[in-house]
Each structure stands twice: as structure tokens, then as C-alpha cells.
Structure 1
Amino acid sequence: MTIKHPLKITLPLAFLTVFTAGCAVQTEHDNFCAPSTLSKEMALSVNAKTPPLWQTVPQSMDEWHTLADNFAKAGAANATALAQKYNVDISEGKIGGVRTFTLTPSKVDVDKKDKVILYIHGGGYVLGQGVGGTAEAIYLAGLHNYKIVCVDYRMAPDYPFPAAIEDSFTVYKELIKEYGAENIAVFGTSTGGAMTFILSLQAHDAEIAQPGALVSGTPWADLDKIGDSYFVNDGVDNILGNYDHLIKSAAKAYANGADLKDPFISPVYASDEALRDFPPTLLISGTRDLFLSNTVRMHKRLLLNDVNTDLVVYEALSHAQYYLNSSAPETFEHYEIVDKFLEKNFIKK
């Protein structure tokens, strides 16, 4: 099924409410002002109030479903408008019985025609279903001409661990049959960033060939509240806010009693043997990111296991803020960095 694009949709600015009075007056609940090192466009995002989304704590299945449905509706409008803007076709289908959305740009570069990217969306294992979960990937497809398969995996609380990772791994194994593992890169942010790592752990465990490259943005690499930035960036990160509300609830709903130190839940605890098998890996975070410690802890583990790995930590940005503002030059610089990494380690290797 091909998603039909509406003629006109107004894009939200990262679904955030922006300070209209600037950053002159601070309260204990406000974030620090954007530094002068940012563009005026990104400064609007950095000076924005933290949205209420991640401060909610659903108390029933109905509340979980309402939260997820509302998020999906807003995300679908955003993704559909982005696809129209960047001339990316979105085709819904199934791969190995798992629902997917395939993104095809108007032009695929010659050196990318035999390559595919498997994209895994974020959302704490509880949010991001449907076409709304493709927005981050649409930029990469439209700006840099990649074909991308987005996996619409099952989510908690209806489908707890290991449903999500089983779905993404199923799609990966099917894509291997068509493209070969070396021609597949895996890409995701937040929960998707963690699932990107977990997919490589699954491949190692199953003795299946590793993908050609990994791009992991601000991965939820430790589902427990362990790591410095969970504390020092509490209230500083103006996307997530803190760990103790929806994030904690999502971790509990997804793990469903399983050990949070299981590497297939928190990949920062993976064995050295499994990590040594990883392909070239790019990790991304920001100095205000609640998940910065998740990212740098994972990076250190990969370095100690001789993985070809790069780390980018963006100035002043909160969780995943590097792609949420469609008008900020930092967003386009971010995708250029991702493309350069893929060109060097995936396309031309």
C-alpha cells in the first residue's frame, strides 16, 4: 500500500512549546538558555519547555493505548508531510510477517542501489508505531538517497520483551536473503539505537552474518537508572525531562519482570566476545542528553573490544534533538555526518 501525501500539512517544531519571552527569566523548572554556538533555529528548540509527554505515568492499559494512539496520530501527520517535502515514497507491507514501511527516494544513487538500511524507531518500546515512526528515516532517504526499510515492531505493554527485538531480527534475516548482510546497515535512535546494538548481539548469538554498519543515536543501552547523565541531566534534557516517570514505566512494561541487565534488554552489559563481532559503528548523543551516559558507556565498551567506532556528541542538544527541528541547520549537518560515516564504512568499503 502506498501512503498518499496530503497537499499541505503544517509541520510542528519537534512537538514542543517554545518560549515566546526568550530565556531571560529562569525558574527552577526551566532549562538553561541555548548557548551562542547554536543557530537561532536550534536555539528555539533548546530554549523550549519540556513537553508533558515523558512526565506522564499511565495507570491502565486504556491509558497506555490512548497515549500511544495520540502520539501515532501526531507522528503520522509529521512523517507524511516530510515524505511529501523530500519526495520520498512510503510503501506499507510485511516482511517475514512483520509490518514494515519501505522508503524509496525519487533518486537512488548508483553506488547505493544494491544497499538497504534497516531502520528501527524509538519510543521507549511503547510509542512510535505506524507511519509516524518513519520520520527520522525520511530525512536520510530524502536528503541522501537511501532506500530504507522501517520495521513497525510490536510494542509493550501488549507485547513485552522480547517481541520487539524478535520482529526487528526477523526482518533483518529476511533482508539478508535479498541483499546479503554486508549490504544492510542498521540505524535507529533511542530505543531504536539500543535495538540496533541488540540486533548485532542476536546475529552473534545465532551465528548469522553481521550487518555492514550500525548507526546508533542516543541508545537506551541501560534500561535501569544507572549512569551519570540520568542524574546530572535530570531536568536539563528538555525532551525527556527525567527518568522517573514515563521512561521508568516503559522500562517496567517492556521488561515485564525480566532482568534489566540482560544484554538483549540493556546491551551495555553484552559480553566482550559478542561486542568484538560488531561492524563499524557510529554513536550519537548531545551534551544535555539524558542518555549521554548510555551512549559513552557503550562507546567505551566497543573501543575496548577493538570495534571501528566513532562518537559524536552535539553541543547543547537534548535527547534526539539533532533531528527534531526541520528548519535548523544542525539537523542537516547531523544527516551529513551520518551519510559520511555510511559512505566511508558501508557504501565504499
Structure 2
Amino acid sequence: MRTIRLARRFGATLAGLVAATSVAAQGAPPPLQVPEKSVPVPADVSPQMAKIVGAPLRQNWNIQPKTGEEWKPVAEAGAAALARQVPGMLERLKVKVERTTIDGVRAFIVTPETIPPENRDRLLVHVHGGCYVLNPGEAGLPEAIFMAGFGRFKVVSVDYRMPPEATYPAAHDDAMTVWKAVTKMADPKKTAIFGTSAGGALTLAMVLRAKREGLPLPAAIAPGTPMSDTTKVGDSFVTNAMLDNVLVSPDGFCDAGAKVYANGHDLRDPMLSPVYGDMHGFPPTILTTGTRDLLLSNTVRVHRKLRDAGVEAFLQVGEGQSHAHYIRDDTAPETRKVFEEIAGFFDRHLAR
């Protein structure tokens, strides 16, 4: 069985990360020194998920493009590879996709072959992940396809602008434009918003902005492993560094992408780090993460903040999973379970 080894050469890096996130006060406890160890793939995950969990660290995890122009070829290469997988997903999950434009914003309509009677008037809005710089076009569709296929909901997926086309707040503006249109297409009590990673952060930010602007709120939301704190505060930025085989490091490619999108804007602004926003009055929320996710703490902190605000919040955590592993393979039983859990949550909270 393949194991993941946390080598001594990363010891100084981890120690530095611990020191950076420890309490900046006189007399603070010293950082805990963790010995070198091997981390096996959990024995009780499916073969499909074991392959994902046991994969090597993402290639080029430490690239640091400084501009949107530098990100463009990276995004295009990744999108081409991912888009090639979409036809198979559509066939297996019996879903169709249609390109559209909603009030000037690029989007996709994702429709399952069969919609049950209780979902016929319901509509979901999806905002994809990719650190605000990756997964343009069809590359941003897998999560929406999974939700449509496993949950049998009609989904509007927002193909929001990213660098170099536009920087902050373009993605937020595009998502809100679609949300406003959706509230005219369907009763907001029959709608939900979901997304993973940057899409999870956008999901939370959309609710914060809708509250601020006096717009209708969705009946429920599902932020998956949200980038809820782009300032890199959180225990798992240390504990899961070099263990998460997707994001890998708090100082890796995703941090670089978020900074390019922010374009100098304050990263602690709740629009970019929604954990700092006021979550009173949020709709019922289901959050998803994994035990090896670099953003585990980002997710846990949002869950705790929602609970403290009196919001119904449910947290599901995948054993052994790194960042967003649950949207990697639609044939993995863990993936099906995640989306069926979300679909059940939505069914309980969306009006019929």
C-alpha cells in the first residue's frame, strides 16, 4: 500500500508555518515539533478514492504566476485536459449541458435526463472553483454535472470572468447578476447556491452581498471546502501542509491565484475572506471537506461561525480526502454520497 511520507526536508517549512500562525504575543507557548512520519492511505475508502488519496503531490503546485496573462496558459492547459472528461461524465450521469448568456454573463444550463416532480420548480446556482484563475468554460462544470446527475436538480452554472479578462470584483459581480436573474426565474424559496473552493467562498460572499443589498436569499447553500480566509489563518494550513496532494502548501499556486484576482484588494474583506462577515440570518448550510484538506480549518471555522449565529449548519468530512477530492471521480461511491447528502439537505429546505 502506498504511503505519503512527510520528509525531514519539510520540517523547517512546517516549523516556520507553525511559528507564523502561533499567537503573536509575549509568552506564547512554543510551537509543537512534529516528528517525521508516514501517512498511509486509509484502509476503508473505495478503490477509486484510494487512487485519488494516494496520488503524488499535484504537479507545479508551487508555481507563482504574478499576472493574469501569466495565468492564462496555465488555465487553458488545465481546462483542455478537464474538458475532455466532461462528455463521459454527461453520459454516465445522464445529464445535458447548454451554453447560454444571462444578462450578459456566460453560463451553462445543466439538466438531468429525469427531474422528479418535487424538483421541477426548483433551480440551483453553481459557482465553480479554481482559485479565481482556473477552470474556465466547460472545465468548471464537473461539480454542476454531479449535482444535476446525483441530485436530479436543474442547475445554472456561472462561467464568471477571471484574470486576465477581469479581476476582483468581476467574479462576484457576474455571480450576483445571475443570482438576480434566477430570483426572477424561480421562487427564491425554491433555490439554492453551491460551489467548491473559490466557488465555496463565492457562495458565502453571494449571501453576504445579497443581505447587504436587500436581495432575496436562497433557501439553502452548500459551500464545499470554501476559501473562506485568503489570509491563511487556520490550523490546517500547518497540519495538512505537504499532506494535501491538491493544494499542497498555503504558499502554493492557489494563494498566488487568489492574490492575482484580488489585484491589491484587502484580502481580509469578507468578499474575499467571508469567514470575517456577519453570518446572522444565513440560510441553512451544508459544508463539505476532508481530513487532509488544507482548507479543513477554513471550513470548520465557517461551520462554527454559522452555529454561533444560530444558523442550521451541517458539516460532512471525507476520510483521507484532500482538497475537493469529492469532485474528482463520479464513479467513486464517496462522491455519490457527498452529492446525495447535499441533495437531501436541499430537499429538506427548498419549498416544493
TM-score (norm 1): 0.89
> Is 1:37–2:44 an aligned residue pair?
yes
For the 8 Å contact 2:66–2:260, the answer to whether it is kept is no
Whole-angstrom distance in 1 between the partners of 2:252 and 2:245: 14
Hey, what does 2:287 align to over in structure 1?
283
> Is 1:313–2:317 an aligned residue pair?
yes
Hey, what does 1:223 align to over in structure 2?
230
Hey, what does 1:246 align to over in structure 2?
253
2:223 is paired with a residue whose SS is strand
> Equivalent residues in 2 for 1:134-213 (5 A)?
134-213=141-220
Runs of 4+ in 1 over 6 A off after TM superposition: none
1:140 is paired with a residue whose SS is helix
Hey, what does 2:334 align to over in structure 1?
330
1:32 is paired with a residue whose SS is strand
Cα 1:326/1:31, change in 2 over 3 Å: farther
Whole-angstrom distance in 2 between the partners of 1:94 and 1:60: 27
Deviations 1:224-248 (A, max 9, x none): 1211111110001011111212122
Deviations 1:187-208 (A, max 9, x none): 1000000100000011100011
> Is 1:83–2:90 an aligned residue pair?
yes
Percent identical across equivalent pairs? Answer: 38
Q: Which amino acid aligns with 1:258?
A: H
CA shift, 1:339, in A, is 1.4
Whole-angstrom distance in 1 between the partners of 2:184 and 2:318: 37
Q: Which amino acid aligns with 1:181?
A: P
CA shift, 1:288, in A, is 0.4
Cα 1:260/1:25, change in 2 over 3 Å: closer
Hey, what does 1:258 align to over in structure 2?
265
RMSD of aligned residue pairs (Cα, Å): 1.7
Whole-angstrom distance in 2 between the partners of 1:223 and 1:276: 21
> Is 1:52–2:59 an aligned residue pair?
yes
CA shift, 1:329, in A, is 1.4
Cα 1:198/1:61, change in 2 over 3 Å: closer
Cα 1:309/1:25, change in 2 over 3 Å: closer
For the 8 Å contact 1:187–1:215, the answer to whether it is kept is yes
For the 8 Å contact 2:191–2:218, the answer to whether it is kept is yes
For the 8 Å contact 2:4–2:40, the answer to whether it is kept is no
Whole-angstrom distance in 1 between the partners of 2:335 and 2:213: 36
Whole-angstrom distance in 1 between the partners of 2:245 and 2:39: 10
For these two proteins, the number of residue pairs brought into alignment is 324
CA shift, 1:41, in A, is 2.2
CA shift, 1:347, in A, is 4.9
Whole-angstrom distance in 2 between the partners of 1:71 and 1:31: 30
TM-score (norm 2): 0.88
Whole-angstrom distance in 2 between the partners of 1:202 and 1:305: 17
Deviations 1:25-48 (A, max 9, x none): 846289722111212221111111
Q: Which consecutive unaligned segments of at least 5 residues does structure 2 have?
A: 11-36
